[in-house]
Amino acid sequence: MKLTPIFFAMLPALAVFASQAEVYQVAELGLVEGYKSSFSAGINNSNQTVGTVSGQFNYPVDLAAVNYAHASITGSLSAAEIEEVKKGNVNAKALVALLLYLNSNISDYSVQRFAGTFPIRYDIRQQIKLRETKTPQTNYEYLLDITDNGTMLGYGSAPFVKQAFTPAATEAIPNPVTKQLWVPESGSVLGMVLNNGSRYPLLPIYTQYGGGISVPKAISNSGIVVGTGSVSLAEATATSINTACNGATEPKAICYYQFISNVNSAPYDMAGLVWTLDANGKPGPATKYGYLGDKKTGLPHTRTDYAPVLYTSVPNDVNDAGVVVGMSVYTDSTDIRYNPRTFRDEVFTAYQATIFQGTELTTFFDVKEWEGSRATSINNKNIIVGSAVKRVNYDQERFFVYDMNTQKITFPKDLFASASVVPAAINNNNQVVGISSSYTDGSSTIRQVGFWYDLTTDSFHDLNKLLPCNSGYTVIAAQDINDKNVIVATATKKTEARDVKGDIIKDAAGNAIMEEVAVAVQLTPVANGTPDNCSSVVEEGYERQGGSLGFGWLLLTMLPLLRRRSR
């Protein structure tokens, strides 16, 4: 998703902080040796942490299988340099050309597959295998969370296996040549549960034509997993796939994969799903969630004079009691609005924050006032957090807290009046972490930062203001918080720049060049810690001029965008 969650890809260039603090101590979980960047995802109450690393140094390329006549090679290397590569003498320049070759030939299945992300248990510095079992890895894999009993949740794209394939003979080619092709395993994207040395796939409801898709979002300590997955396929689409994928010119598995490999454009009908783990940690069959539907009826609108709506639900989190939160498609067939993206009038359609309890779906927002909303996390006290906008594509995301016990919704005061704020996780102490827009000290420049909010004291902070002075880290996203109030986050830091081989890059004078990289960090609370003012910069109350975290998640609803906590 790409198959990549949004935060794994968001690495804005941010200014170094001048004012920081001593409420949290910061410790680096990555850099992980052999990789350029590291990203946090989840932490349990034993401070076991998981995430993903990327940018593998000295990437292993099968030199014997490279087409050295390809334009990406000949356009980057001289004939003499190519001959050196063939001998196994690969310098940084040559490796850049080889990686360009792999990445520019992803649709050519005779070319080696490239892997860009690798799951990691940070606390033990161990790479975790989700679907891929071979080395080198041939797919993209991500770890999302770890429960208190050590069960890990993640997902991965399909691993590939090199196989011989002979096309069917034709009149034009009566003696076809056998080819070596990289063939994907079934399931273009599948969630995985790992526990006690066992690995279990989270199978979707519909698995024909390539094995289907499942993307988990959250797991509870009680063994409930929620996410999204394939539930059906239109008959006309199935007919088209059957016609195209006859196995004559390429393996059926490759043909299916080309139809379904992109989660956002796959032809499957997708829906919210829930799996329950048995006593051995093995998931049972998936159960499908419904949707809010037209005027909260759970049914689609029936108007024939306007375009049909693709109804679905996206669960984002689940607590130990099995209460699920997320978002679901709501329509009002009596409310017709012009859609500037399609240049036509349509039935009003929006994702709204939703509570899923069994087969009952409810939303707690006034859909006339708020055009879009999503619930991102729930704790065991039934406190829900999320974000909402009054006008999709125009307004900033507002951070909300909803108490199921009192049925009261509040909008906490954040960093400034028009800040865009997206919470990622809430713990059982009612402390929340996530992403916020912020102003750089002493300027009107907008940047992205991790935030911390305490519901009990109604206090909202840029996490960078709570770190030791001159820590060297800029927290850009806080992903999770456990019941010890320990936070895992992703930060940037300046470090020596390295080339694709992992060697330090130096300038003409022999000095190491510095660059900013993303690193996974853990923030541990300091007993009785208080914020310090580490600079003489006087902060002013800036009003937002522009910039946004955006409501682009409406276009990416099948991806796990942010981490959450429901311990």
Listed in sequence order, the residues at least 6 apart from 327 whose beta carbon sits closer than 8 Å to its beta carbon are: 313, 314, 316, 351, 352, 353, 354, 373, 374, 375, 557
Question: Helix/strand/coil (H, E, C) string of 60-79?
Answer: CCCHHHCCCCCHHHHCCCCH
Q: Which residue has the tokens 């599948």?
A: 190
For residue 386, list its beta bridge partners: 375, 400
pLDDT value, residue 418: 72
Residue 535: pLDDT band (50, 70, 90) is low
Check if the beta carbon of residue 393 is closer than 8 Å to that of residue 333: no
pLDDT surpasses 50 at 552: no
How many whole angstroms separate alpha carbon 352 and alpha carbon 333?
A: 16
Band (pLDDT 50/70/90 cuts) for residue 5 is very low
Is residue 152 within 8 A of residue 46, CB to CB? The reply is no
Angle between helices 79-86 and 92-103 in degrees, nearest 10: 90
Return the residue matching tokens 């375009």.
307
Q: How confident is the model at residue 223 (pLDDT cuts 50, 70, 90)?
A: very high
Residue 445 is predicted with a pLDDT of 73
Residues 396-413: tens digit of each pLDDT: 889 999 999 999 999 998
Is the pLDDT at 7 greater than 70? The verdict is no
The pLDDT tens digits of the residues spanning 475-496 come to 999 999 999 999 999 999 999 9
Distance of CA 91 to the CA centre of its chain: 33
> Which element (helix H / strand E) includes 425?
strand 421-426
Residue 19 reports pLDDT greater than 80: no
- Residue 15: per-residue pLDDT: 30
Within 10 angstroms of residue 378's Cβ, the number of other Cβ atoms is 29
Identify which has the larger pLDDT, 21 or 40: 40
The DSSP secondary structure of 219-243, one letter per residue, reads E-TTSEEEEEEEEE--HHHHHHHHH
Q: Please state, in angstroms and as integers, the Cα–Cα distance from residue 422 to each residue in 156, 231, 385, 490, following that order.
A: 25, 29, 9, 15
Q: Which of 62-71, 361-370, 475-484, 541-550 has the lowest mean pLDDT?
A: 541-550
Mean pLDDT estimate for the chain: 89
| Measured CA distances, 541 to 15, 439, 440 (Å) | 18, 9, 11
Res. 228: pLDDT tops 50: yes
Instruction: Supply φ then ψ for residue 286, to 5 degrees.
Output: -70, 145
What dihedral angle (degrees, nearest 10) is formed by the CA atoms of 184, 188, 193, 194?
20
**CB distance 326 to 354 below 8 Å:** yes
Query: Half-sphere exposure of 248 toward its Cβ, with a 13 Å CA cutoff?
Result: 8
Report the alpha-carbon angle 564-555-271, nearest 5. Answer: 70
Domain spans in the chain, listed from the N-terminal domain onward: 6-59+114-555
What average pLDDT does this structure show over 27-34?
86
230: buried, middle or exposed (CB in 10 Å: 19+, 13-18, 0-12)?
A: buried
At 559 the pLDDT is 35
pLDDT tens column, 130-144? 999 888 999 999 999
How far apart CA 112 and CA 418 sit, in angstroms, is 47
Average of per-residue pLDDT across 160-166? 97
The residue-averaged pLDDT of 288-298 equals 96
pLDDT at 249: 95
pLDDT band at 499 (very low <50, low <70, confident <90, very high): very high
Separation between Cα atoms, residue 558 and residue 439, nearest integer Å: 31
pLDDT digits (tens, 9 = 90+) for 343-356: 999 999 999 999 99
Flag whether pLDDT at 446 surpasses 80: no
pLDDT over threshold 50, residue 532:
yes
Q: Does pLDDT of 566 surpass 80?
A: no
| DSSP for residue 289 | -
For the ranges 10-24, 264-278, 484-498, which has the lowest average pLDDT? Answer: 10-24
Calculate what percentage of the chain has a pLDDT beyond 90. 78
Whether the Cβ atoms of residue 485 and residue 43 lie closer than 8 Å to each other = no
For residues 463 and 547, is the Cβ–Cβ distance under 8 A?
no
**Tell me, what's the pLDDT at 444?**
66
pLDDT at position 17 is 33
560 pLDDT more than 70: no
**Banded pLDDT at 263 (limits 50, 70, 90):** confident
Q: How far apart are CA 511 and CA 497, in angstroms?
A: 11
Per-residue model confidence (pLDDT) at position 440: 65
Task: Give 465-477 pLDDT, tens digit per residue.
Answer: 999 988 999 999 9
Sequence-distant (≥ 6) Cβ neighbours of residue 334 within 8 angstroms: none
Residue with tokens 């770190």: 467
Q: pLDDT value at position 415?
A: 78
**What backbone torsions phi and psi does residue 71 show, to the nearest 5 degrees?**
-60, -35
Query: pLDDT at position 529, please?
Result: 76
> How remote is the C-alpha of 221 from its chain's centroid?
21
pLDDT tens, residue by residue, 318-347 = 999 999 999 999 999 999 999 888 899 999
**% pLDDT > 70, the chain:** 88
Least Cα distance to 463 among 528, 541, 523, 505 occurs for 523
